[in-house]
Structure 1
C-alpha cells in the first residue's frame, strides 16, 4: 500500500473519531486517524462520562442515544473494560416538595416515552445512593443510565485499532482538504499530504473551521463545561447524580405542568453573571469525585474560571455536607459541541464526494459508538442501521450558531 494513501482518513481523536476508526477497521478498511494534539485531548478527555438517557427527548435523540449505549457490551466483549463502564443507573435528586412533583411528572412522561424511570422518596433515594443528604425529598431513578471514564475509553479504542493496523498520527494538524474537482481526495497536514478514498471529519467543536474551507456552514457552538475533582475518597456512591439546578435548562422539564419559573434555583446562583450550573456528580473507581458543570459560551477558551470553580464548590458543599472537607485535586474545562437541534451532523455532503461529516455530538458518550458504526456502513455501501435523515449535514446552512436556545 502507498504509505501516504489509505481507504479512509479520520480527522479527530475523540470518542467519535476513534469509534469511526474502530468500526471502519472491523469492516475491513485501511484507516489513518489524524489528531492535532493527542487522543482524548478535547471534550472526550474532559467530560463527566455520562451515558445519560434520563433527559434525552423522545424520538430521535432518545433512540440514537439508546442505540449507542447498547453497543458498549459488544465493544467490551471485544476489547475489554478498562474504561470503568457501569450501568448502575442515574438519579435526579431534589430538595423541595414542589420540585418532587415536577420529577413525578417527568417520570410519568418518560415511562410513556418507553424509558424506564421511577420516582422514589428521600429514604429510598438514600438507600440507592447513600451520599444523598437527609435534606433530599426524593429522586428519579433510571436504570438505563450508564457511565464510562471517557478518556480511558478513547485510549482503549486507540490501542485496539492500532493493534488492528490503523495508523494513528498524533500531534498532527490538518490545514485543509486536497480536492480533485468536487471530490475530496485527502488532507494537507503538518506532517505532509495524505490521500484517501474517503475522509471523515470528526473534530467535534472544531468542525466548523475545516468545514468553512469548503464552503460548509456547520453551526456548532462550543459550550464550555468546567469541572472540579477531589482527591480520592472512600467509595461513597456508584450512581450518576444530576441535581436540581441543572433542570431549568431543559425544555423537557420546562414543558411539564407543575414547572414554574424560579424553580430549581439556589441563592448561590444570584450573583452569577456568566455561567449556569449543570449540577452533576460522579465517583471514579480510584475514589476521585468529579463535580460540575458550570456552563457558558466563551468561544474556544478551555480555561477554568474562578466563577465556575467557585459556584461548583459552593453548591456542592451546601448540598452535600459529607463533601465539605474533601480536598480539591484539580479543576479544568472542556468544550462540548452543541447544535441547533442537539443532533450531530453525520453523513456525506452533497457536491463534495469523498467526504463524510461526523461532528456536533452534544451527547457523544452515547452517540459516539453508533456514529462510528453508521460511518462504517456508509463507507462500506451498506444500508445504515439507523435513519440518517435527521442528521443531514447541510440541514442548517442558514443558521447562526450564536442563536440562544435551551436544550
Structure 2
C-alpha cells in the first residue's frame, strides 16, 4: 500500500490533519493503534478557547483555529455539537480582577474580544454564581464541541474524499531511504508514503523515537467530574476561576486544581480541571476529585445538592515550553509532527490540520510555523 501521507493517530488532531490533506487532494492513510478518538480526545471537555492564552504563537494559532471552526467548517458544526457559548473568567479578589484586566489589554491587541465584568454584572451572565466574587471577564469567542464526534466525522469526511482509516494498527517502525522517512511498518504490512505525520498525542514522543529523533511530549493527567443532567440554562457559559490561566502555563509536576464548570448539550455539568505529571498512572485520585468538587461548589453553591454521576481521566500531551510541535522534522526528512498541544488540542486541531496541509502541498502557510519547529529542543539535548 502507498499514499502521499500517512497520519499516525486518529484523535482530533490526526483527524483534522487527514481531512484537510484529503481536501487538498492528497492520498491519505490514517493508522491508529487503538480506536478512533481512543486517547486524549475521548477524555477532554471539548474546549475551543482563546481566553486562557497569553499573546504569542499559541494565541495566534487559537485565533486562526477559531476562523477555521467558524468559517471553513461552519456547515458541519452541528455534527459535533459546536456551541458558541462564550467563556466567563471569574476572580475572587480585587488583585485577581486587576490581573485579568491587565491580561485582557494585551489579548485585545492580539485580536481577542474581551468584555470586562464588574462584581454586580457577574450574575447577569450566570445567575447561580457565588455573590462574593469580585469580578471577571467575558470572552464571546470561546466555544465548545464534542471531541469524539469531531474525530469521527472529520475522518468520515476524509474517507469521502478517498482517505483510508486503519484502526487497531500500530506503527512499529519506519521505512527509510537513507535518512529519509518513506513510510511506516505495521503488523498488517508496510505503508509507503511521501510523508508521515506523527499525530500520536501523548505517545508522540515514542513514535518520534522510532525514527531516532526526540520530541519531548509527556503525559499530564487530569480528572473531570460529570453531574446528573440539569435544566437548560442552569450554567450558560464555560466558567472558570482566574487561576486556571496560571495552571495551564505552569510546568509544575505536582497536583494543581482550578475550577472549570460548564454544561453540555445533554444537560450534564462538567467539572474540571486538574493537572499533574504522574506518567501514565490511571489510578483514581480521591484528593484531586474532592478538590475539584469543593472548588466548583465555591463558584456555584447550588452544586452542593447536585449528584455527581461519574468521573473520568485523561492525559494531556505536554511539551516543556507549552507550545505544540507542528511541521516537518529536518532531522528525519519525510517525518512531520502535529502533537504536544496539551489541553488545547481540541481547539487548535483544525488550525493545525490546515497548516499541515498547506505546508505539505507547498503552499504558503497562513501562520509561520517556526515557533512550533520540531527541532527547537536541540539546544536542550546539547546541554544535557
Structure 2 residue aligned with 1:108: 105
Match of 1:309 in 2: 289
Question: Counterpart of 1:354?
Answer: 334
Indicate the residue corresponding to 2:23 in structure 1: 26
Distance 1:175 1:378 in 2: 26
* Cα distance change, pair 248–76 in 1 and its aligned pair in 2 (3 A): closer
1:366 to 347, 364, 375: 347
Q: Give the secondary structure class of the aligned counterpart of 1:224.
A: strand
Count of residues in correspondence between the two structures: 378
CA contact (8 A) 1:129 1:238 kept: yes
The residue aligned with 1:328 is 308
2:357 matched residue in structure 1: 376
The superposition leaves residues 345-385 of structure 1 with CA deviations (integer Å, 9 ceiling, x where unpaired) of: 11112242221111111221222111111111122121222
Tell me how far 1:19 sits from its aligned partner. 0.5
Could you say if the C-alpha distance between residues 38 and 303 of structure 1 is closer, same or farther in structure 2, counting changes exceeding 3 Å?
A: farther
SS at match of 1:281: strand
Distance 1:198 1:274, change over 3 A: closer
- 2: distance between equivalents of 1:374 and 1:310? 40
Q: How do residues 211-250 of structure 1 correspond to structure 2 at under 5 angstroms?
A: 211-235=208-232, 236-249=234-247
Q: Secondary structure at the match of 2:136?
A: strand
- Compute the displacement of 1:152 (Å): 1.6
| Helix, strand or coil at the partner of 2:336 | strand
Hey, what does 1:345 align to over in structure 2?
325
State the secondary structure of the residue aligned to 1:340.
coil
Q: 1:230 to 1:307 in 2, by over 3 A?
A: same
Aligned to 1:87: 84
* Distance change (3 Å), C-alpha of 1:251 and 1:359: closer
CA distance in 1, matches of 2:45, 2:265: 13
CA distance in 2, matches of 1:59, 1:158: 30
CA contact (8 A) 1:304 1:331 kept: no
Structure 2 CA distance for partners of 1:113 and 1:167, relative to 1, 3 Å: closer
Q: Name whichever structure is richer in helix by fraction.
A: 2
Q: Which runs of structure 2 are paired with 1:12-161 in the superposition (5 Å)?
A: 12-161=9-158
Distance 1:351 1:282, change over 3 A: same
C-alpha distance in 2, partners of 1:222/1:34?
21
Q: 1:250 to 1:296 in 2, by over 3 A?
A: closer
CA distance in 2, matches of 1:248, 1:349: 30
Moved over 6 A (4+): none
Which residue, out of 364, 367, 373, partners 1:392? 373
The two structures, once aligned, show a CA RMSD in angstroms of 2.1
TM-score, normalised via structure 2 length: 0.92
Deviates more, 1:201-210 or 1:96-105: 96-105
| Structure 2: runs of 5+ lacking an equivalent | none
For residue 158 of structure 2, give the secondary structure of its aligned residue in structure 1: helix
Q: Does residue 184 of structure 1 match 2:181? A: yes
1:86-123 per-residue CA deviation (whole Å, 9 max, x = no partner) reads: 22311111223333233233333333444221221233
Q: 1:91 to 1:172 in 2, by over 3 A?
A: same
The 1-side partners of 2:270 and 2:187 are apart by 36
Task: Name which of structure 1's ranges 121-130 and 101-110 shifts more when overlaid on structure 2.
Answer: 101-110
Preserved CA contact (<8 Å) 1:10 1:17: yes
TM-score of the aligned structures, taking structure 1 as reference length: 0.87
Q: Cα 1:171–1:75, aligned 2, differ >3 Å: closer, same or farther?
A: farther
Which moved further from structure 2: 56-65 or 109-118?
A: 109-118
CA 1:318–1:10 in 2, change beyond 3 Å: closer, same or farther?
A: same
Structure 1 unpaired stretches of 5+? 253-272
